[in-house]
Amino acid sequence: MIDFKNDIKNYNFKQLNDSIKSMDLIKISSDELVILLETLKNDKRKNVNKLGEHIEKERNKYFNEVKRVNSLYAFDRIFSKNTILAGVDEVGRGPLAGPIVAAAVVLNLEDLKDIIMYINDSKSLSSSMREKLAEEIKNRAVSYAIASCSNEEIDEFGISYCNNKIFLDSISNLAVTPNIVLSDGYKVKDYNGNNEAVIKGDTKSASIACASIIAKVYRDNLMIKYHEAFPDYDFKSNVGYGSKTHIEAIKRIGICKIHRKTFVKNFI
């Protein structure tokens, strides 16, 4: 480890960069950071100067993210007030194939040190980040539950009915009974408990954001498995949505057993 309090001119860029990579730049104290940045910025080498600028930028980016995620938890605490809160969200209203899936999540909202970093609207995250976060959410949540309705149920009862049903099912399958449920977009019909609808809730509420992530990961992985059985429709890429490849396959070979007949009637 290079001591940045001393002269660094005898170290090349790779040595400096490798030493910095071995540090935990998030946990480094403000005083130590000032010394590190000043040393790098005052060096005569431009690539070393840029290394300092990069460190400062990344550290600021991280703490802005901490602030954003804390605001999601703070939003939920407005409603929870030392009671049990669940967030619920769905994925898969619009696809031509596959189920609609919902998740309900109860987080520990009181421990400020227990926040799950980088949670957000699932659609704004990369697939690899969603996968990583889904596991972390499931491991750290007080409780979570996933519910779904098949394409057959969607055809028989309609998408709105199924959407509401999986909201109810995911909430009722939680290991704890929430005192309040925050739902994304609109209230849950026929729910007897306290329920608040939050417009664009997956960008405002930590619990709803977590629900959106595990619901999407669950459904996406299910559609990837369906791709193995029905590769012509490219489900691994479109996860059942009406992509050009998907629609062309429907027109060419017809539908398979997981298609929503009421959704694809204009293509067959």
Q: Of 213, 222, 103, whose CA–CA distance to 151 is shortest?
A: 222
The first and second tokens of residue 80, run together, are: 């929870």
Residue 196 CA to its chain's centroid (Å): 21
Strand order across the beta sheet in which 180-184 lies: 143-149, 100-106, 85-91, 180-184, 194-198
d(CA 259, CA 152): 8
Please report, in range form, the residues annotated as the binding site for a divalent metal cation.
89-90, 184
d(CA 67, CA 178): 26
d(CA 95, CA 101): 12
Task: Write out the E strands in 107-236.
Answer: 143-149, 180-184, 194-198
The phi and psi torsions of 86 (rounded to 5 degrees) equal -120, 145
Please report, in range form, the residues annotated as the binding site.
89-90, 184
CA dihedral 247, 150, 101, 222 (to 10 degrees): -70
**∠87-134-88 over CA atoms, to 5°?**
15
By the 8 A CB rule, do 223 and 98 touch?
yes
